[in-house]
Structure 1
Amino acid sequence: MKLNSVERAMMNNPLRAAHQHRREAAWFRRLAGGDLAGQHVLEIGCGRGVGAEVILDRLGAQQVTAFDLDDSMVELARKRLHGRPVSLSVGDVNAISQPAASVDAVVDFGIIHHVPDWQGAIGEIARVLRPGGLLLFEEITRHALEWWAFRALTDHPRENRFEADEFAAELGRHGLHGTGTLEHRAGGALFVGAARKV
């Protein structure tokens, strides 16, 4: 699902960008056991390009391929990332255009909870990861999506949502196994983790 105007304002502001560059980058770096130096990384749901910037500048990736369902966000990302080693396109996480086993890592900055068929999205992520490849994720729980503010101000699928343990179980069904304990943040509203393709 595309973001509504409230979500766009929440995601496309300097505070969110600073949080991604500092806190989320630090979480992912620790979960990855270091940086992603020399790796080809796929970012799902690139928005205006801050995540790709983080992947390059904070996590040390060599190359980023990124896509978003919203063509206006992809245009903003193109302007932001001009001249950087990033390939951008309009795309859908349920039909990723990358060949099978073609990327070293996938990064999810809170996108999968927007996807109605999130299980299919995980299957696609598993398909494009090479054996031993890493998925780094930050996601919002079903419990948090039921809070009044989320229900009133944001557009998320209402059915078939997940808690952290259900998300981890689905990863396992697709051969993606956790590298450690899922970490809960923001009073349990968020969880972050990493999984490798076996």
Structure 2
Amino acid sequence: MKLNAFERAAMNNPLRAAHQHHREARWLRRLAGGGLSGQQVLEVGCGRGIGAEVILDRLGARNVIAFDLDESMVDSARKRLRGRQVQLSVGDVCDIAQPAAGVDTVVDFGIIHHVPDWQQAVAEIARVLRPGGLLLFEEVPRQMLDTWAFRTLTAHPRENRFDAEEFAAELARHDLHGAGGFERHLGGMVFVGAARKT
């Protein structure tokens, strides 16, 4: 699903960018065991390109392949990331245009909870990760999506949502393990974790 006007404003502002560059980068660096130095990283749902900046500048990736369902967001990311080691495209996390076992790490900055068939998104992420590859994720649990603010102001799918334990179980179904140690942040508004493909 594409973001509505409220979500676009909430996700595309300097405070959100600063949070990603500092707090979220620290969380993911720790979960990645110190960073992603020299890796080829796929970012699902790139938005206006802040996540790709974090992956390159804070996590040390060699290059980033990134896509978003929203063409206007990809255009914004292209402007922001001009000259950087980033390949951008319009794409769908449920049908990732990458070969199987082709990337070292996948990063999800809170995209999968927007996807109606989120299980298919997890399956696609597992498909493109090489054996031993890493998924780093930040996600919003069902109980937050069920609050008045999320129901009223956002356009998230209402059915087939997940909590952290259900998300970890779905990852394990696709041989992505290690998410049992996820962390809750921002008063439980998000959970973050890492899972490695066996």
The alpha-carbon deviation at position 91 of structure 1 amounts to: 0.1
Matched, 1:22 2:50: no
Say if 2:168 and 2:180, in contact at 8 Å, map to a contact too. no
Matched, 1:143 2:167: no
Query: 1:109 is matched with which residue?
Result: 109
Q: Please give the root-mean-square deviation of Cα atoms over the aligned residues, in Å.
A: 0.7
Matched, 1:166 2:166: yes
Say if 2:168 and 2:179, in contact at 8 Å, map to a contact too. no
Unmatched 5+ stretches in structure 2: none
Query: 1:129 is matched with which residue?
Result: 129
Letter in 2 for 1:66: A
The alpha-carbon deviation at position 188 of structure 1 amounts to: 1.6
Shift >2 Å, 4+ stretches: none
Which whole-Å CA distance do the structure 2 matches of 1:29 and 1:115 have between them? 25
Which whole-Å CA distance do the structure 2 matches of 1:178 and 1:191 have between them? 14
Q: TM-score, normalised by structure 1?
A: 0.99
Query: 2:43 is matched with which residue?
Result: 43
Letter in 1 for 2:105: A
Q: Deviations over 1:38-61 (max 9, x none)?
A: 100000000000000000000000
Which whole-Å CA distance do the structure 2 matches of 1:142 and 1:87 have between them? 32
Q: Deviations over 1:101-120 (max 9, x none)?
A: 00000000000000000000
Query: 1:4 is matched with which residue?
Result: 4
Matched, 1:72 2:80: no
Which whole-Å CA distance do the structure 1 matches of 2:136 and 2:54 have between them? 13
Which whole-Å CA distance do the structure 1 matches of 2:17 and 2:134 have between them? 23
The alpha-carbon deviation at position 10 of structure 1 amounts to: 0.2
Query: 1:97 is matched with which residue?
Result: 97
Distance 1:14 1:51, change over 3 A: same
The percent identity for this pair of structures is: 75
Q: TM-score, normalised by structure 2?
A: 0.99
